[in-house]
Structures are given as structure tokens and as C-alpha cells.
A and B are shown apart, each in its own frame.
Chain A
Amino acid sequence: MAQSTPLKRVHGALAEFSNVQDLYRAAEKVRDAGFKHWDVHSPFPIHGMDDAMGLPKSILSLFVLIGGATGTTTAFLLQYITQVVIYPTVVQSKPANIFTIPAFFPVMFELTILFSAFTCLFGGLALMKLPRLNHPLFNSQNFLKFSDDGFFLCIEARDPSFSIEKTQAFLKELGGKNLEIVEDEI
């Protein structure tokens, strides 16, 4: 049977670091070297790594604010339209007009939280570019340690300053071990 030869392209240069401190210092240097497409991989979020990588604050909070406001509005309209416009009933001696709004607060609050939480989940996933079940990094057996106790730094080939030899030498200079060129099948 004829075997097809898979086409491969370089995804990036991967280096392992022995601890958080080394990774943190390496990240600062990679940032200062002006790389754009790179990332560090660790089993837990590292405090201060956003600064070390020169990343701004996540924009997710803005999304959630909008999501929450949508929830409040939805709940208000749902209650106002059904209780005042379509089906006005006078119960508990509460009026069937806008002045009954205090009774709407609990549901407005709950839907604010619900919509915010959904925005948080789906907005967060979108920003993290997940779910993405396959990724070139998973081709590296060594990389799988990232979820246990491995600390990795990967500079991607799409970065304009990337060159296989120079970048690998740079990572080695920073103290990276188990240097690897990660390939992507296309």
C-alpha cells in the first residue's frame, strides 16, 4: 500500500526550564528580545508572568460587563412585558405598572449573574482559543509534562524574528533544556 508522506512545517522552538524562576527570567529576556508569537506553558498560572511576557490585562471583564447588562435588561423586559403589558394581574396589592419594579429585582439580579457567567465561560474560551483538541505542541512527548511539573517556553515559527538556529541558540543561552523543534503536519 502506498504510503503518503506527510507534509510538515515547523511550528516553533520548544525549550524546557527546570523551575518557575528560570522560566520567569527567560520570559523577561524573550520579551525584551522583541518576540511577538511565543508563550510559556506551566502547570499553574505563574504570578506576575503577564508582566514578564509584556501582556496587557485580559479584556474578558469588559465582555462580562456587557453580558451582565444584557442579563439585567432581558430580565427587566421579560418581567415588565409579561406582568405589565401582556398579562397584568394585581396580586399582593402590588400595582401592575412600572412601580412594581422592586418585585422584579431578584430575577433581574439572577439573570445578570447567569448571563455574566455564560459570557465568562464562552468569552473566556474564545479568548483562550479553546476548545482546540489538536495542537502541534502535543506532538512533543516531552511537552506532556506541562500538566505535571514541566515548564516550557515555545517561540513560534510565525514570529518575524524566528530562525531555527538562532532561536534555538537563544533559548539555550537562556538556560533552556531539551530543546526541540516542534513540527506541524499539514
Chain B
Amino acid sequence: MASATDTHDHSHAPAGGGNSVAQVLTREPLVLNNRSMHWITEKVSGIVEKPQPKLWWYLIVPCFLLTIVLVSCFTYLIATGIGVWGTNHPVAWCWDITNFVFWIGIGHAGTLISAILFLTRQKWRTGVNRAAEAMTLFAVVCAGIFPALHVGRVWMVYFLAPIPNSNAIWQNFKSPLLWDVFAVSTYFTVSVIFWYLGLVPDLATMRDRAKSSIKKLAYGIFALGWRGGNRQWRHYEMAYLLLAALSTPLVLSVHTVVSFDFATSVVPGWHTTIFPPYFVAGAIFGGFAMVLTLMIPCRSIYGLHDLLTAKHIDNMTKIIALTGSIVGFAYLMELFVAWYSGSNYEFDAFKIRIMYGPYTWTYYAMFFCNVIAPQAFWFKYCREKLWIVMTVCMFVNAGMWYERFVIIVTTLARDFLPGQWDDYHPTWVEIWSFIGTIGLFTMLFLLFLRFLPVIAMSEVKGVLPEADPHYDPTRSKRKTVVRPYLKEVDNPSSDTQPTLAPDGIPGGA
């Protein structure tokens, strides 16, 4: 689309151009109902400042209990030994690594939204990037727990770090497992930096609005004394751009390195060059599903319909359809290559996976959830009906977990020597550890909603039409293209809203 229309509407029209401006395509506004900047501040800060809805409490209490379950499971594991898990020989990697890859993959959509969409100037990212980045951090926290405990003696986990020790041995830097340590820890650190840098202007907003001195102090310290001066913004924007440019290859590298854990081994079913792109596409796919899973309820509960519009959901569902198809292609290509390679072991590994192994049902569950279900998003109807979007996203969330299970467990359970074959069944400790991380993840996200602005206010204000220094209100025709269904389904109040909302009246719920 013409770059001249990249900002909203016709604000870039040359002065005195008269009617000669070609109407290319009217872009849907990123903020509906002509909301003012003050309205955005009130709405987003209001989520933090006002008491949380009852539902918040109904959710955080069970999530907190599940976190306690998680801690208890790990305490039991550490006190007793790794035998409380169902790991055996040959299935030495099981739910722990499945969960690790699952959670780290979920994180990737956050970085994708914040970094890649920033570099490609996709302005719609401003509505979702903050929550997606927070989700990234919390997912990486959940992911990091598993490999740390998987090492067995967690108190020796510092052996992963290249620090001199009394045995005078050094890590094997030729091992993908060590690359993984560096990749994941770098990813977490850079994600924290990126997220925090994005938060600084909004923390300043919270600081300037805070009534109590404790809040003022807490937000004030983290806002670092931000004054929004252009002499700060110019460095800030450069820092943000550079971090986006650094995070983009980083996010691709992290899941590539995770896939190296498998691909550089000689295990049939793992030893394939397709793994890096296939893992990255799968990670983005699963991550976007999780963003939607979190943001669609948030949008309804907190009434963020004007900031997280149908356009945002539509864009994300399209990305899910695309990446889901890439993942489907990778699944089929894996099968094709297994046959075409002429390697009996490779082909057998896949026959066991899809035809007569002990876990064939997980393969079909994965295939249905990840490949068939997202095809619904080719149809506009399905992208617009939120319950369908939520259902498909739930399928994708489950499907991505199954994918990792299929890759890890079905492969290990049947290796070269039939005498070594063994089945694997999770124990209650593993099951509750996984459920516990879901609780931890949700709890962290709920706390994020409670204490930090869920939408990047400064960024959303920056993409409003009036944020353009050459915007001319008299020339602008600011047509609000609201999707017809939006009025009925999402935003019953939009009919009654005046063209320019009076400041300070938060609409919605």
C-alpha cells in the first residue's frame, strides 16, 4: 500500500493540493471513536488505578495456589531425586523439555510483535506490544525452570556457566545445550531491557497521576525521572530502534538454537535441517495464539475495544493462519524427507510416529490442532467471531504442546535397538508441575495487569492522526470505518459516543 497513507487518513496531503489528492484506500483507524490522548491515558491508567474487577480475584487466587503446587512439586523433586518423574531410559527428555520448548516458543510472539513489526513499521503493534512483551518474559520464566531442574542436581546448575571451578574443567562450547544456555539467558535479558525501556514513558505517566506518595515513589524510581524532552526522545527512539534490530535476529536465533538441541543429534526423527525454520514458525504461531488467548478476555473485561480493535485481532489471526500453514508444510515435508532420504531408521521413526507407535494419537491431535484448526482463519467470518478465534487459539495452544511432545517422546521411546524400547508415562509430579507453570504464568500476567499499564500509552498516542506535526484538522476527513459487526458484538456503547469523546470519560466497561 502506498507509503504516503501509512499514517492515518489524508494528513500527508500537500498544502493547497485541493481535491487532487487521490483517495487510495481508507485505512482503518488504529484507535476507534476518535479518542483523545487524555482518554487513552485515563482508560489505560484507570485499569491500574481503579479496583480490579471481581473476576481478577477469582483468577488470581487459584493461580496463586497452583504456583504453590508448582513450588511444592519442585521441592519434592529436589528433596527426593529426579526419579519422581516418569523419565527412564531411553526417554530421558520428556515433559520437562516439552514444557521448556513450549513456553520458550510462546515467548517468541512477544518479541516478534515488539521487534519485527516495529522494524516493518506495522503501527497496529502499538495496541498489543506491551502485553505481548510481558507475556514473553513470563513465558521465559516458566521455561527456564524446567531445564534447571532437568539437570537433576539443581544445586550444581552453576556448572552451566563458564566460571572457573575447582575441578578445572570447562564447559563444552561445541554443544548446542551450552549454546542454549547462552541463547535463552540472552533472550530473557534482552526481553527485559526492551520491555523496560518501552515502559519508562508510561511509568512517568503513572508517576504523574499517582495520588499516594508510595505509588509516586515506586513509579517514580522506575520512571527514572523521565521528562519527555525531545533531547531524550531522540536517544530513546534510537535505543528502541536498535533494540528492535537486535531482538529480531535474536528471536530467530533462540528457537534455532533450541532446535539445534535436537537437529545436531543423530537420533532419527530429530536429525533434520528443516528444524530451525520449522521451530521458529511454530514458535511465532503458538505465541500469537497465546497473545490472543490473553488479550481477547482483557479487552472485554477492561473495555479496551477502542484500543484493541477488530483490526488487531484480524491481523493476528491472519498471522496464525500463515504460520500454521508453514508448520503444516513442515510436518508434511518431514514425512516426505523421511521417505525420500532412503534412510530406514528415519522412515521407521516416522512410521512409528504416525502409524503404529504407542503415541500415534498425539501426532493426530497435534496435526488437527496446528494444521487443520487454524485453516478456519482463511474465512472472514471466523476471524470476526471472537468465540471461534478463542476456540482456535485454544487448539493451537494445546497443539503446540503436543508438537513438542511428539518430537521428543515418540522419537526417544523407539530408538535404534528394540531391546531398549520403553514407554513413557508422566507421573503426578510432572503433570502438576506443568499445570503449576500455567498458574505461575497467569498469576504473573494478572499482577502485570494490576500494576503496570497494559497498553503502551505513549506509543498509541504517537500513532494517532493528530500526533503528526503536519496534521491539519480542517482538511482531515477522519472517516471512522467501523466494521459493522463491531457495533453489535464488541462495543455496544459506540453508537452513543459523540464524534469527539469528551475528555475524562472512560467508555466501555
Which residues from chain A sit less than 8 Å from chain B, CB to CB?
19-21, 23-24, 27, 39-50, 52-53, 55, 57-58, 60-61, 64, 78-79, 82-83, 86-87, 89, 91-92, 94, 100, 103-104, 106-107, 109-111, 113-114, 116-118, 120-121, 123-125, 127-135, 137-138, 144-149
Contacts and interface: CB of A to CB of B under 8 A. Distances in A.
Interface string B29-58: 000000011100100000000000000000
18 contacts: A21-B470, A21-B472, A45-B230, A46-B469, A64-B242, A82-B173, A83-B173, A87-B170, A103-B173, A106-B260, A107-B178, A113-B247, A121-B193, A135-B225, A138-B227, A147-B201, A148-B37, A148-B205
B190 interface: yes
Contacts of A19: 466
Q: Which 3 pairs from chain A and chain B are nearest by CB? A: A124-B239, A44-B462, A131-B224
Given A106-B179, A120-B193, A149-B37, A55 B230 contact: yes
B459 interface: yes
Contacts of B205: 43, 147-148
Contact of A44 (B224, B229, B242, B459): B459
B316 interface: no
Contact of B189 (A58, A61, A117, A132): A117
Contacts of A106: 176, 179, 182-183, 253, 257, 260
B432 interface: no
B243 interface: yes
Contacts of A20: 466-469, 471
A133 B228 contact: no
A127 B170 contact: no
A182 B18 CA distance: 44
Contacts of A53: 230-231
Nearest to A65: B242
B177 to A, nearest CB: 11
Interface of B: 36-38, 41, 162, 168-176, 178-179, 182-183, 186, 189-190, 193-194, 196-197, 201, 204-205, 207-209, 220-221, 224-239, 242-243, 246-247, 249-250, 253, 257, 260, 457-459, 461-462, 466-472
Contacts, number: 210
Contacts of A149: 36-38, 41, 461
B203 to A, nearest CB: 9
Nearest to A127: B235
A110 B230 contact: no
A144 B206 CA distance: 11
B227 A41 contact: yes
Given A106-B253, A120-B193, A87 B179 contact: no
Contacts of B468: 20, 47
Nearest to B197: A121
B178 A113 contact: no
A43 B239 contact: no
Contacts of B37: 43, 148-149
A116 B231 contact: no
Contacts of A49: 230, 233-234, 469
A55 B249 CA distance: 30
B38 A111 contact: no
A120 B469 contact: no
Contacts of B193: 117-118, 120-121
